[in-house]
Amino acid sequence: MQIQTSCEQAINRKYPEQVAIAIVKDAQGKYNPITLGWTMITSHRPPMMAISVGHTRHSLGALRQAREFVICFPASTMSEDALFCGTKSGRDLDKLAERGTETQPATVIDGVLFADAVANFECKLESELETGDHVLFVGRVVASYVNETGETHRLYTLDKDHRMGRVVPD
Ligand SMILES: Cc1cc2nc3c(=O)[nH]c(=O)nc-3n(C[C@H](O)[C@H](O)[C@H](O)COP(=O)(O)O)c2cc1C
């Protein structure tokens, strides 16, 4: 039986939620990672993915200017990186330099990949849609990578307090 409640209460039942990190070059020339829960695949052919980025984020202007970005699926071992990139702003610091997270160069776009991630996708911006307090950016995937030597389990947010970890089947 269902009991009617607020949207906020009902949405709290969504966890676990996949974690992604988008990396985009900003106006100062630094590669700025932003942690995202709101991401999705939108098409097989051509391969397209979408990310939802808040109006207040430093990454928003960078995405509009660079028109290309990397979407990374962090490994379950990368919770500290995801929390850092999701609580600090590129307006105030160079997140990659500060954390020292290992990266490798992208090959098609001007960007970097997270070397220890489960997978990385280079995307070219196709379109954007205003959706309220966030903007939906849709990118066409132009290069893809998987980690063959390291952790292959993705990172998830387990609850609304941003507790993160690996999801183990029941
Ligand atoms: C687990 C987690 C998920 C998040 N999901 C999103 C998201 O989907 N969209 C968004 O705009 N911000 C999201 N955030 C918040 C941004 O990552 C955060 O505001 C970040 O500091 C913005 O960085 P920037 O100012 O360098 O762009 C999330 C944060 C965390 C910790």
114 vs 106: CA distance, rounded Å: 10
Q: Which residue from 32, 57, 71, 164 has its CB within 8 A of the most atoms of ligand 1, so it is best to mutate?
A: 57
DSSP letters spanning 38-73: -EEEEETTTTEEEEEEETT-HHHHHHHHH-EEEEEE
The residue contributing the CA closest to ligand 1 atom 23 is 89
Torsional sign, CA 100, 32, 144, 16 = positive
Per-10-residue mean pLDDT for the chain, 170 residues long? 97 96 98 98 98 98 98 97 98 97 98 98 98 98 95 94 89
59 in contact with ligand 1, CB cutoff 6 A: yes
Residue 74: asked if its preceding bond is cis (omega within 30°), the reply is: no
Hey, what are 170's tokens? 């029941």
14 vs 158: CA distance, rounded Å: 9
What sections of 56-139 are H helices per DSSP? 58-66, 79-85, 95-99
Atom number, ligand 1, closest to the C-alpha of residue 88: 21
pLDDT of residue 74: 98
pLDDT of residue 170: 75
Please state, as a whole number, how many other Cβ atoms lie within 10 Å of the Cβ of residue 84: 17
pLDDT of residue 150: 86
Question: How far is CA 30 from each of CA 53, 66, 97, rounded to the nearest angstrom?
Answer: 18, 11, 9
- Ligand 1 centre from 74 Cα, in Å? 14
- Ligand 1 centre from 35 Cα, in Å? 5
Please state, as a whole number, how many other Cβ atoms lie within 10 Å of the Cβ of residue 43: 13
CB 147 within 8 A of CB 116: yes
